[in-house]
Amino acid sequence: MKIFISHSSKNKDYGNTLVDLLISTGVNSDDIIFTSNDAHGIQTGKNIFDWLKSRISEKPFVIYLLSPDYYKSVACLNEMGAAWIVENNHAMIFTPDFDLNCYEFQNGALDPREMGFYINNENRMLLFIEALKPKFSITNNNVLINQKVKQLIESIKPFHTDRTDSSNFRTIESISTVENALIGKFEGRALDILKSPIDNITTDGKSRFYSDLFEGKLKKEEAFLARYIIDTDRFNLGTGWQESGEIERIKTWEDINCFENILSNNYHSVIKRLEMKKLLLVSEVTSHGNPKEMCLVENFANELLDPSKVLLDKLNEIVTTTQNEELPF
Which of the residue ranges 2-6, 17-21, 83-87, 309-313 would you say has the lowest mean pLDDT? 83-87
* pLDDT at 157 (0 to 100): 92
* pLDDT at 179 (0 to 100): 31
pLDDT above 70 coverage of the chain, percent: 77
* pLDDT at 57 (0 to 100): 67
pLDDT tens figures, 213-238:
888 888 999 999 999 999 888 888 99
Over the chain, what is the mean pLDDT?
A: 79
pLDDT above 90 coverage of the chain, percent: 37
Rounded to two decimals, the pTM is 0.52
40: DSSP letter: T
183: DSSP letter: S
CA distance 148 to 161: 22
Domains for the chain: give ranges and CATH numbers: 3-193 (3.40.50), 198-326 (1.10.10)
Distant-in-sequence, close-in-space partners of 237: CB < 8 Å, separation ≥ 6: 229, 246, 271, 280, 293, 294, 295
pLDDT of 164 > 70? The answer is: no
* pLDDT at 52 (0 to 100): 61
**320 vs 91: which has the higher pLDDT:** 91
pLDDT of 113 > 50? The answer is: yes
Sheet holding 280-285, edge to edge: 236-238, 291-296, 280-285
Distant-in-sequence, close-in-space partners of 326: CB < 8 Å, separation ≥ 6: 260
- Give me the phi and psi of 6, to 5 degrees please: -85, 125
pLDDT of 11 > 70? The answer is: yes
Distance between first and last Cα of the chain: 63
Read off the pLDDT of each residue in 38-46 and give the average, rounded to a whole number.
Answer: 57
* pLDDT at 159 (0 to 100): 86
- Give me the phi and psi of 293, to 5 degrees please: -155, 140
* pLDDT at 137 (0 to 100): 92
Distant-in-sequence, close-in-space partners of 315: CB < 8 Å, separation ≥ 6: 213, 223, 226, 227, 230, 307
- Beta-strand ranges (E) seen in the chain are 3-6, 32-33, 61-66, 90-94, 117-118, 236-238, 280-285, 291-296
Strands 291-296, 280-285: parallel, antiparallel or unpaired by DSSP? antiparallel
Which of the residue ranges 149-158, 169-178, 198-207 would you say has the lowest mean pLDDT? 169-178
pLDDT of 148 > 80? The answer is: yes
* pLDDT at 162 (0 to 100): 45
pLDDT tens figures, 174-201:
323 333 333 333 333 333 333 333 333 3
